[in-house]
Amino acid sequence: MVWERQQGQGGQGPRRDEGRSREGAVRMVRRSRRRKLPKFTGLCGREEGLRVKRSCPSCGPEPGGEEKKGRGNPISFQLFPPELVEHIVSFLPVRDVVALGQTCHYFHEVCDAEGVWRRICRRLSPRLREQGSGVRPWKRAAILNYTKGLYFQAFGGRRRCLSKSVAPLLAHGYRRFLPTKDHVFILDYVGTLFFLKNALVSSTLGQIQWKRACRYVVLCRGAKDFASDPRCDTVYRKYLYVLATREQPGVVGTTGSRACDCVEVYLQSSGQRVFKMTFHHSMSFKQIVLVGQETQRALLLLTEEGKIYSLVVNETQLDQPRSYTVQLALRKVSRCLPHLRVACMASNQSSTLYITDQGGVYFEVHTPGVYRDLFGTLQAFDPLDQQMPLALSLPAKILFCALGYNHLGLVDEFGRIFMQGNNRYGQLGTGDKMDRGEPTQVPYLQCPIALWCGLNHSLVLSQGSDFSKELLGCGCGAGGRLPGWPKGSASFVKLHIKVPLCACSLCSTRECLYMLSSHDIEHNPSYRDLPASRVVGTPEPSLGAGAPQDPGGAARACEEYLSQIHSCPTLQDRMEKMKEIVGWMPLMAAQKDFFWEALDMLQRAAGGGGPGPPPPES
């Protein structure tokens, strides 16, 4: 042991010299690297060589930068090749890319480049081969796939929270959906129809539970539209009718094939095709709806030219293996009014609604009970001619609608909501339970994103000034269909449910509430400002011009009203001005009477008079 220690102590000097020489060599290498660093990067210092300072090209150099010693000149992102900057930005999440594009003009151009969105789209959807259509195809495709989602909340059970269904990897955004008795069907923007199944799965705790829309398969491709039983109860939705385009072999003597539209019928329980009808290649359709009972199911088909054709099938015989010919006939609304070009349709079991390209609305009602609920009378109902279209009198162009069993909702180009029909449960949202035989405006709701009418309740999807979404509902609240309002409401109230940021449509069944999330940058509903001459009760153009039908305009109008009241010298003058303003505001007659009566009571109390009868003028 002593000999080993002596040997170690004797060789310590040469080892120290070797260590010093190595350290000196390392210092020389570091010194040489440090000298080369400013030559290539324009930076000095160890920390500055690892950092690139961003400089906006429009802002110019940093003031006082030359006076700062030891920092060098900052490098601008503009010096990098655009392809390199786009490649770096494409690795950011979509939310961060949008936020970065709002910082300055340079990054706005970079983040808006199609090259960035092409890389993002291929990262989100690796199997997407085509860029799609539109002015900005790659940006639209990337945002569609980033925001797609189907959310649902069950009305029963102990856990009443919002859940998300499985997202098919092959889906290119979500265009529309339809829940049936057991499953959910989703159509994307390239015509692929997906079949989302309910199944038994194991939870995190090892328990077997029934979960909605947790498995998916591709039902068919080339689909344009689909429909099922129009009743609100999904129990009746046994078959799914799919409008699709298929390649058909040419006639004898020709070599090519032709694309023909067809209607394929599938069982909703298994996804098995049970029936198919093919049309002539000269006829091209874009929408399909159903109306009527199972034995006399009428299929309404809307062509690209705005004409409506119909055919009748018997659903009880669809599962029988036989072929037969059905007659495709022009609907009476297209025969009697050939100049009309229908843009879209909506249907229920006993009624059909048509919206033209000019914003007009025409109705077909097939049963006397529904006709009485919708119009309050049977005066113009003809049981022998149920397909005769009835025109609704509306003050503006209608953009979209929702049709329930015995009530309906319409949204015009100014964002106003009109309700009509049966109001037994307060499903019209007018604040009372009186039926409306003509379209009645709901004054406190404007600019909705989506509208849905059920059996005896209505839902409205709206957006706030901070772009947050909220869901409003009215009518019957039994069964939890109005979360947070079990007793229902005769006015639209905010429901206790979390709404996705990009929700665009909704649907409610007996068991569940569904919301579809998908943002299309090219199909955003844009409402117009209501002109001053169209504001009801506006005596002066200045007031009407300052109060467009939007929340910001209403706030400015209220501020102007307050300034006018404040300018009045006496209390009596302020009371009279307030009565005048109540007459200008778009309130219902009962609300105006209430405010006028209350103002008269306050005016008499302030003047020292007794509680006598109100003057006839009020």
Our separate counts of H helices and E strands in the chain read: 13, 28
176-180, 352-356, 569-573, range with the lowest pLDDT = 569-573
pLDDT tens, residue by residue, 120-156: 988 888 777 665 565 678 888 899 999 999 998 888 7
8 A C-beta contact, residue 317 and residue 330:
no
Q: From the CB of residue 499, how many other CB atoms can be counted at a distance below 10 Å?
A: 20
| pLDDT at 601 > cutoff 90 | no
Average pLDDT taken over every residue of the chain: 80
Q: Please report, rounded to a whole number, the percentage of residues in the chain having pLDDT higher than 70.
A: 76
| pLDDT at 589 > cutoff 90 | no
C-alpha distances in Å from residue 528, one per residue of 194, 436, 531, 556 = 36, 26, 9, 18
**Would you state the structure tokens that stand for residue 325, as one six-digit string?**
């010919």
Phi/psi at 569 (5° precision): -75, -35
| pLDDT at 208 > cutoff 80 | no
pLDDT tens, residue by residue, 152-172: 888 876 666 788 888 888 888
State the pLDDT at residue 537: 41
Closest CA to 286 of 300, 262, 306, 303: 303
- φ/ψ bin of 70: left (φ > 0), alpha (ψ from -120 to 50), beta (otherwise): left
State the pLDDT at residue 134: 58
State the pLDDT at residue 133: 60
Mean pLDDT confidence for 315-339: 84
Write the burial class of residue 568 (CB in 10 Å: 0-12 exposed, 13-18 middle, 19+ buried): middle
| pLDDT at 19 > cutoff 60 | no
| pLDDT at 347 > cutoff 90 | yes
Q: Please report, rounded to a whole number, the percentage of residues in the chain having pLDDT higher than 90.
A: 34
**Would you state the structure tokens that stand for residue 377, as one six-digit string?**
């009378």
Mean pLDDT confidence for 207-213: 64
* Three-state DSSP class for residue 341: coil
| pLDDT at 23 > cutoff 70 | no
- Separation between Cα atoms, residue 384 and residue 305, nearest integer Å: 29
What's the one-letter identity of residue 342?
Answer: V
pLDDT tens, residue by residue, 495-513: 999 999 999 999 999 888 9
pLDDT tens, residue by residue, 80-126: 888 888 889 989 998 899 899 988 888 899 898 988 998 898 888 87
pLDDT tens, residue by residue, 371-409: 999 998 888 788 888 888 888 888 899 999 999 999 999
- Separation between Cα atoms, residue 345 and residue 307, nearest integer Å: 11
Confidence of residue 209 (pLDDT cuts 50, 70, 90): low
State the pLDDT at residue 200: 61
Q: What does 478-524 look like in DSSP terms, one character per residue?
A: GGGSSTT-TT-EEEEEE-S-PPPTTEEEEEE-SSEEEEEE---TT--
Mean pLDDT confidence for 245-273: 83
8 A C-beta contact, residue 152 and residue 213:
yes
| pLDDT at 457 > cutoff 70 | yes
State if pTM tops 0.85: no
- Separation between Cα atoms, residue 12 and residue 2, nearest integer Å: 16
Mean pLDDT confidence for 605-610: 64
State the pLDDT at residue 543: 32
